[in-house]
Chain A
Amino acid sequence: MATWQILVILVKILVIVGLFQGAVAYMIMLERKIAAWAQDRVGPNRAGPFGLLQPLADGAKMLLKEDVIPGYVNRPIYVLAPAIAIVAATIGFAVVPFGPVGSDAPTVNGHAIEFQIAPNVDIGILYVFAIGSLAVYAVILGGWASNNKYSFLGGLRNSAQIISYEIPLGLSVIGMVMMARSLDLGEIMSWQEQNGLGFIPAWGILVQPLGCLIFLISAFAETNRLPFDLAEAEQELVGGFHTEYSAMKFGMFFLGEYLHVITVSFLMSILFLGGWDPLFFDLSSNGWIPAVIKVGVLFFKVFLMVVFIMWIRWTLPRFRYDQLMNLAWKAMIPLALLNLIVTMILLQIFRGIG
């Protein structure tokens, strides 16, 4: 690999990690704003114009607050857990294409610049799920290392939830994978782009509606967002696995959670919302301008997904723990299997005829 290629990859990593971690700060502000609007309030508007400096104030507070480490915790693991949360959430972006990849990618001096940190990873989607499930270590180690019954039970509860919802999450995308015949996220996107019927696109939400719904619900549970945020139900459950965490270490768990929200929004946009397909005009040509438009379209869809996730938060009440488990095991997994079987049969029939 030439030096310039390594440089390009490093620049991509810096841009993506910096962009998303900065976006997380503003997502927290957006979350607070949407929370306020849903309750007919105004929301944070003190720091800077329209409150736009609020994330800086929040960050300064996180860093400057007293960082308490109780004497009875298992120190190395206690410190490690929030780091795992962040790392697991960050490295998932490696295979997420945020712009044209492969033959669509724009070129510089005949070399393609692909908008993906690790392009051409055939197992893209498996990698994202594998990395995403590492987040459960942060939860259970954090709960265990806190050496506190409430935290431990909270960690167990939450890890059971994350693992349970991993199953329908994985099953729900297999339908899409079977149709596109690839695990590569870029391939799945281009399949959606190329297989529309006239003006009707072959977006995942239309060809796999049940899979889309199951993916969406599981994604909420995976990211610990409402209505599945038992881990954060402060008053009822004594804060769950992060009871003993304060200041920036607590903040890191949430940074991880918000990064997870971005990852899930990317997956949702790529798998089920057509990725960078702008729907109303054709962008199949190569070059920098279509590439930039594609990145913009994809980011816009991701933004809409993030807003939707926050919107849901102020609409649905929190699940009780047994309801949460019932939903996963008794409703979502059978439905996901059903979806899989029906997709399989239909694919056999149509491919057999065709």
Chain B
Amino acid sequence: MKLDDPNLKRVEPPKLTLFEKTYLPQILGGLAVTGRHILGAAVGGKAITVQYPEEQHVPSANYRGVHRLNKDEQGRVKCVACMLCATACPAHCIDIVGATAPPEWDDREKYPESFVIDELRCIYCGMCEEACPVDAIELTGLYDLTGLSREEMIYDKTKLLSVFDMTKDAEPMQSGNPPATLALPTSPLEPGGPGPRSSSSADMPSRS
């Protein structure tokens, strides 16, 4: 748009009166605003912050907090030591030592003999969760992750499994509880869905 464009609308700042040029009315208005807030919080109890130790903040469902290692129905660790999470991790904070699975575990060849996550290095990006083919590693909503030493913040297999025990009721495993969008019978995006496909589905980007 050029400067002499007839469609250009020029907006002049409002002319201030002498009184307004002293900024006193604006200052008084500002004082009224802050005064309202001060009285509201001090007298009216309108403080909007969460009183943390007494009130726990509930993060949204896709919050990424401390990791957990999921267990299957028989209480065994779900991980098959495929190293995909460790490979996907951009911060290189996952350290897995795989071993041959015991003979009675007929559904897999390997299991993690040790599974260590350095929670101080982790950037909580969730790529390990994305990479895992068997939904063994998940990020929970636990956010108050504290420790008195660096060693305390390095989570081994026992600790990661105990996080699962701690959170399994509040946050059910994703594989055991598929998201509602996948269960919609008429979803046009579902290739194997039972519903009739609409003609517009051809225009939809296909899922790869």
Task: Tell me the residues in window 13-65 of chain B with beta carbons closer than 8 Å to chain A beta carbons.
Answer: 27, 30-31, 33-35, 37-42, 46-49, 51
List of B residues within 8 angstroms of A315 by Cβ:
27, 30-31, 33-34
A36 to B40 Cα, complex, angstroms: 11
| In the assembled complex, A37 has its CB within 8 A of some CB on chain B | yes
List of A residues within 8 angstroms of B27 by Cβ:
315-316
A41 to B47 Cα, complex, angstroms: 5
- Nearest-CB distance from B165 to chain A (Å)? 32
List of B residues within 8 angstroms of A38 by Cβ:
34, 37-38, 41
Q: Given the interface contacts A42-B51, A315-B27, A316-B27, does A37 sit within 8 Å of B37 by beta carbon?
A: yes
- Please report B residues at the A interface, Cβ cutoff 8 Å: 27, 30-31, 33-35, 37-42, 46-49, 51
A110 to B201 Cα, complex, angstroms: 104
- Please report A residues at the B interface, Cβ cutoff 8 Å: 33-34, 36-42, 311-312, 314-316
| 10 pairs from A and B in contact (CB 8 Å cutoff) | A37-B39, A38-B38, A39-B37, A40-B40, A41-B41, A41-B48, A311-B34, A315-B31, A315-B33, A316-B27
List of B residues within 8 angstroms of A41 by Cβ:
41, 47-49
B49 adjacent to A40 (CB under 8 Å) = yes
List of A residues within 8 angstroms of B46 by Cβ:
40
Q: Given the interface contacts A315-B27, A315-B33, does A42 sit within 8 Å of B38 by beta carbon?
A: no
Interface centre among A33, A37, A40, A42 (most CB of B within 10 A): A37
B31 adjacent to A312 (CB under 8 Å) = yes
- Nearest-CB distance from B122 to chain A (Å)? 29
B31 adjacent to A37 (CB under 8 Å) = no
A42 adjacent to B31 (CB under 8 Å) = no
Q: A38-B38, A40-B37 are in contact. List 14 more A-B contacts (CB 8 A).
A: A36-B41, A37-B40, A41-B47, A41-B49, A42-B41, A42-B51, A311-B34, A311-B35, A311-B38, A314-B38, A315-B30, A315-B31, A315-B34, A316-B30
List of B residues within 8 angstroms of A312 by Cβ:
31
- Nearest-CB distance from B24 to chain A (Å)? 8
Task: Tell which of B31, B48, B51 touches A40, judged by Cβ atoms closer than 8 Å.
Answer: B48
- Nearest-CB distance from A249 to chain B (Å)? 31
- Nearest-CB distance from B204 to chain A (Å)? 45
A42 to B52 Cα, complex, angstroms: 11
Which A residue sits closest to B26, measured CB to CB?
A316
A36 to B49 Cα, complex, angstroms: 10
